[in-house]
Amino acid sequence: MKMNNPIITISDLHISFKNNEILKNINLTINKGDFIYLIGGTGSGKSSLLKSLYKEIDFQKGSISVAEFNLNNIKKNKIAYLRRQLGIIFQDFQLLSDRNIYKNLEFVLRSTGWKDKNKIKERITEVLDTVHLEGVEKKMSHELSGGEQQRVSISRALLNHPKIILADEPTGNLDPEKSNSIIETMKEINSNGTTVIIATHDYSIIKNFPSKTYSFENKEIKEVMIS
C-alpha cells in the first residue's frame, strides 16, 4: 500500500493577473512518486498553476509548499535552489540553436555549478540514455525530429536529479505516435520515484496512459475520470 508523502501542498490558492482572476480556492496535495495530469482549455489556469510552483508568477492568496520550500516566504536568493528540485519541460523545446546537443546540456550543468568535466560528460551520457537518445551529442537541434528534440528537453530537465518534473503541454507539437513515446518515457522516469505533473489538452495520452487527473473549470479544479 502506497504511503502518502506530500511533496506539493497547495491550500486556498488564488491567482490573479492585472486584476483578472485566473484561479480561486485551489486545494491540492501531490505525493512523492505521483503521476498527475492537469487538463483544461486554453486559459483555464493550468500553466499559471505550474508557473506558481516554480515562482515564475506570484499568487495573491493561500499557500504553496514544494519539496520542503515554503513559497509564501521564500527569499529571492533561494528560488534557484527551489528550481533545482524541479525539471521543467515546455511545449516548444527551448533548445539553444547555436550549439550542439552536448553543449546545450553542458550549458545547463555549468550554469548550475557543475565544474568537473568528466562528471559533466558522465551525467550527459546518463540522461540521454534515460530518454533513449544515445549518440546524438554532436548533432544540432535542427537535425533532430520534433520527438527527439522533446526527448532532449526531457533529458535537460533530468540533469540535476529533480524530485519533480513539471511538463507544460509536452506533446503539443507532436504526432500521436511520438506523443505516446514521450509519455512512455515520462512513465519510466516516474517509476524511478520522480513525481511527474503534466498539463495537457491531449485526452488520447490520458486514455492510453491513465493516471490521476484534475480538470480546470470555472477557475477551480476537481478530480475527474477520463474514459
Q: What is the CATH number of the domain that holds 206?
A: 3.40.50.300
Q: Domain range holding 216?
A: 33-59+68-224
**pLDDT at residue 3, rounded to an integer:** 61
61 in Cβ contact with 35 (< 8 Å): no
In a domain, 3, yes or no: no
Report CA dihedral (185, 189, 190, 192) to the nearest 10 degrees.
140
In a domain, 96, yes or no: yes
Domains of the chain: total: 1
End-to-end Cα, the chain, rounded Å: 25
In a domain, 89, yes or no: yes
**pLDDT at residue 2, rounded to an integer:** 54
**pLDDT at residue 1, rounded to an integer:** 44
What distance lies between CA 133 and its chain's CA centroid? Answer: 19
**pLDDT at residue 91, rounded to an integer:** 78
Q: Is 37 helix (H, G, I), strand (E, B) or coil?
A: strand
In a domain, 13, yes or no: no
Q: Residue-wise pLDDT tens for the chain (227 aa)?
A: 456 799 999 999 999 988 899 999 999 999 999 999 999 988 899 999 999 999 999 999 999 999 989 999 999 999 999 999 999 998 777 899 999 999 999 999 998 889 999 999 999 999 999 999 989 999 999 999 989 999 999 999 999 999 999 999 998 888 899 999 999 999 999 999 999 999 998 899 999 999 999 999 999 999 998 87
In a domain, 173, yes or no: yes
In a domain, 18, yes or no: no
Could you tell me the three cell numbers for 11?
491550500
Residue at 160: amino acid letter: N
In a domain, 39, yes or no: yes
In a domain, 205, yes or no: yes
Q: Of 154, 211, 159, which Cα lies nearest the Cα of 30? A: 211
pLDDT, tens digit, for every residue of 37-80? 999 988 899 999 999 999 999 999 999 999 989 999 999 999 99
**What are the backbone dihedrals phi and psi of residue 68, each rounded to the nearest 5 degrees, phi first?**
75, 5
